Amino acid sequence: MDKYSILLPTYNERQNLPIIVWLLIKYLDQSKINYEIIIIDDGSPDGTQDVAKELIKIYGDDKILLRPREKKLGLGTAYVHGMSHASGNFIIIMDADLSHHPKFIPKFIELQKKHDYDIVSGTRYKGEGGVYGWDFKRKLISRGANFLSQFLLRPNASDLTGSFRLYKKDVLTKLIAACESKGYVFQMEMIVRARALKFTIGEVPITFVDRVYGDSKMGATEIIQFAKNLLYFFATI
């Protein structure tokens, strides 16, 4: 039977963690999915791990696994770390900040099964997909960056920087080994390399509700980093 390991990398998410876990359990139990939730906390000073331990007490250590690391070590290695503890044959990665809603996971799974896709990616840019909490400027930057990357990289996926995705475990292992970048650009590199490695990609429109608690990061530094990496991928992949 298929098992889905959900990787939740966290850093200072004590407010969001109980909610996201509750939502995951609600929607996955409802769809009778076999799953485990792996919390990879990078030594948050705000007590995220204490919250995780409370959740384990409530829901059991077969459903929720806390596999922390000492300090912030980057997203790519967080996934590697999480996968080394994962017993599922599929891996789902998502943000723990409530911008990704677990109600879409059953749709990811259904689409994956139907076409035997290697990857199913959530997309904010297609169909019923969209965002909430973005002003005009933020939308413009997002659309501009998306247009430019589609134009230059033609990746067969409409949402390059989104990080709500389902992978076959061996596919994710291969992709992580091939990727070099850090931070949110990592998501973009994964999907661009997936195209180059001829993995099949399906897409599910998702709604993205920007952080309820805490700040979301989007400034000049992020834009410059994005542009630099876009050109780098353009020249090398």
Partner 1 sequence: MTKLTEWLVALSVFFGIYLAIITKQFKHSFFEEHLFEIKILPLVLIFLLGIYAVTTVLYRTLTFNECKEAAEELQKEIIEAKKDLSSKGMKFDD
* Contact residues: partner 1, CB under 8 A: 14-15, 18-19, 22-23, 54-55, 57-58, 98, 101, 125, 128-134, 136, 139-140, 142-144, 146-147, 151-154, 207-209, 212, 233-237
Measured distance CA(176)–CA(183) in Å, rounded: 13
Q: Do the beta carbons of residue 97 and residue 16 sit within 8 Å?
A: yes
Q: Least distance (Å) from partner 1 to the CB of residue 116?
A: 27
The residue (of 167 and 233) whose beta carbon lies closer to partner 1 is 233
The residue (of 113 and 143) whose beta carbon lies closer to partner 1 is 143
The residue (of 99 and 187) whose beta carbon lies closer to partner 1 is 99
Measured distance CA(228)–CA(26) in Å, rounded: 40
Q: Least distance (Å) from partner 1 to the CB of residue 89?
A: 29
Q: Least distance (Å) from partner 1 to the CB of residue 133?
A: 7
Q: Least distance (Å) from partner 1 to the CB of residue 101?
A: 7
Contacts of 144 (CB under 8 A, 6+ apart): none
The residue (of 23 and 178) whose beta carbon lies closer to partner 1 is 23
Please state the separation of Cα 227 from the chain's center in Å. Answer: 21
Q: Least distance (Å) from partner 1 to the CB of residue 80?
A: 26
Report the C-alpha dihedral over residues 186, 2, 88, 63, rounded to 10 degrees.
Answer: 110
The residue (of 15 and 225) whose beta carbon lies closer to partner 1 is 15
Backbone φ, ψ for residue 112 (5° rounding) = -60, -45
In 53-197, which ranges are E strands? 64-66, 90-93, 119-123, 130-132, 165-168
